[in-house]
Amino acid sequence: MSEVLERPELPPSPPRTLVLVGLMGAGKTCIGKRLAQTFGLEFVDADEEIEMAAGCSIEDIFARYGESHFRDGERRVIARLLDCPVHVLATGGGAFMDPRTREKIRERGISVWLRADIELLLRRVSRRNNRPLLKHGDQRATLERLIALRYPIYAEADIAVDSLDASPDATAERVVAALRAYLASNASEQCERRQQATP
C-alpha cells in the first residue's frame, strides 16, 4: 500500500496588493520576487516603473531634477500601480514617507515593513553604487539618519518582519507567516464587530 503524503498548507493569497516598504538594502526586491512566486502573483518594482515612465534612471532623475521632483513622480506611479489587480509591489525607501502614498496604500494594499539593522544594511548597500542618497558622505552616518527619520513612519505598516541575514527564502517564509496571522486577526475582528452589531 503506497504511503499518502500530506501536501503542505498553501499560504493565503493576499486580498489586496502586498506592498513592501523599508530602507534600501532591506531586501524588498529580492523578497518581493519570492513572495510573488509563492502566491502566484505578478511582482512589480516601483522604481523600475518610475524609470520607464521617466525614460531615465532614478539616479539621473535625482541629478537633473532633484529629490522633490522624483517624489512627485513616485507618488503618481505608486497610486497608479495600486489601482491594478492584486500583485506584490516593492517600493523605494522614501515612498512610505509621503502621507498621501501611505493613505493610498492603506486603502488599496497591505503594507509590510522589512526591518533591518544598520550592519546588515551597510553590508548590502556596499554591493551597489547606484543609490542616490548614499552617493556622497559617510554611508553609515546617512543610514543612521534615515533610520532615525523613517523607522517611526515604517512602524505604521500593517505588518513588520525582520529581514534576516540568511537566505531570502527564510525571510519570505516569515512574511508569509506574518501575513497569515494578520489576515486571521482581521477576520476575527470583523466577526466580532458583526456580532456586536447584531441586535
What average pLDDT does the chain have? 86
Strand ranges (E), 63-196: 88-90, 109-115, 159-162
Question: Of 17, 7, 43, 10, whose CA–CA distance to 168 is shortest?
Answer: 43
Residue 22 main-chain phi, psi, to 5 deg? 150, 170
Q: For residue 139, is pLDDT > 60? A: yes
C-alpha cell at 132: 542616490
Tens digits of residue pLDDT in 140-187 = 888 999 999 999 999 999 999 999 888 899 999 999 999 999 999 886
Residue 123's pLDDT band (cuts 50, 70, 90): confident
User: For 51, what's the count of Cα atoms within 13 Å in the CB-facing half-sphere?
Assistant: 12
Q: What are the extents of the domains in the chain?
A: 17-197
Count of positions (residues) in the chain:
199
pTM value is 0.85
Sign of CA dihedral 49, 54, 55, 57: negative
| Of 72, 105, 71, 97, the residue nearest 150 (C-alpha) | 97
Quickly name the fold that domain 17-197 has: Rossmann fold (3.40.50)
